[in-house]
Amino acid sequence: MTSRLEAFSDGVFGFAITLLVLDIHVPSANGDLSLISLLTADWATYLAFLIGFFTILICWINHHFMFSYIYKNNSKLLLINGFKLLVVTFTPFATAVLSRYINTDQQETAVNLYTFNFALMGLSMFGIWLYASRKGFLKTETQTSMKIISRYYFLAPTLSFLIFALSFVNVWLCLGLSGIMFVVFLFPEQAIRYVSPIGSRAEGYG
């Protein structure tokens, strides 16, 4: 049974998302500056918040999707899942650095940090699925769709490490590609069903 693993993971995801909002502060309107000017001037903070929120949300959606197939675990799977949660809890810090230094001379380093964290997220996601499939921890009725789902999750580290590499070349391009990756992994069951008829097995999810 994976109920305790899922419950603990859900708690960590919720805690990490809550931490994101702590980087948003209420501006003090005084002098000649209006409140709307102060709010719009802090656009980088709101952008980083949205990026961090969707990073964690999509990670949680896919974690939930994978564990609709994974029915058992062992200590090694718990460790791999723990690594994923480590990356999740680091995300608020990575996005806080991004919000502070985006559109400055230090923005490349800030984006490098965020996209490296993003790449580790993709790697841990694939690691959970790969280990569970190789150990036979998947429900028997899902074996025919295992290959297509495995290919789908192989995209996670492949694309995210590509985005990390591009962060050294063009920060806005890599952030744009991160947005495209969000779309790809936002609805895993629909994406798998679209790629192959075998993915129709995923209809049982949700």
Q: Which domain holds residue 94?
A: 3-204
Q: Is the pLDDT of residue 185 over 70?
A: yes
69 with 98: CB under 8 angstroms? no
Task: Give pLDDT, residue 14.
Answer: 95
Q: How many domains does the chain have?
A: 1
pLDDT of residue 116: 97
> Model pTM?
0.85
Identify the pLDDT of residue 24.
Answer: 82
Q: What is the pLDDT of residue 195?
A: 66
User: Per-residue pLDDT tens for 26-79?
Assistant: 877 776 778 888 788 888 888 888 989 999 999 999 999 999 999 999 999 999
pLDDT of residue 143: 57
- pLDDT for res 105: 92
Which is higher by pLDDT, 24 or 197?
24
The predicted-structure confidence for 94-109, as pLDDT tens digits, reads as follows: 999 998 898 889 999 9
For residue range 92-150, list pLDDT tens digits in order: 999 999 988 988 899 999 999 999 999 999 999 999 999 999 998 988 655 567 788 88
Query: Residue type at 63?
Result: H
Q: Please report the pLDDT score of residue 145 as a whole number.
A: 75
* CA distances from residue 12 to 15, 82, 98, 147 in whole angstroms, order as listed: 5, 10, 22, 29
* SS3 per residue for the chain: CCHHHHHHHHHHHHHHHHHHHCCCCCCCCCCCCCHHHHHHHCHHHHHHHHHHHHHHHHHHHHHHHHCCCECCCCHHHHHHHHHHHHHHHHHHHHHHHHHHHCCCCCHHHHHHHHHHHHHHHHHHHHHHHHHHHHCCCECHHHHHHHHHHHHHHHHHHHHHHHHHHHCCCCHHHHHHHHHHHHHHHHCHHHHHHHHCHHHHHHHHCC
- The CA distance from 185 to 163, in Å, is 15
pLDDT in tens, 15-27: 999 999 888 888 7
Residue corresponding to tokens 């790809």: 184
Q: What is the pLDDT of residue 200?
A: 46
- The pLDDT assigned to 198 comes to 43
Residue 34: its pLDDT value, please?
A: 80
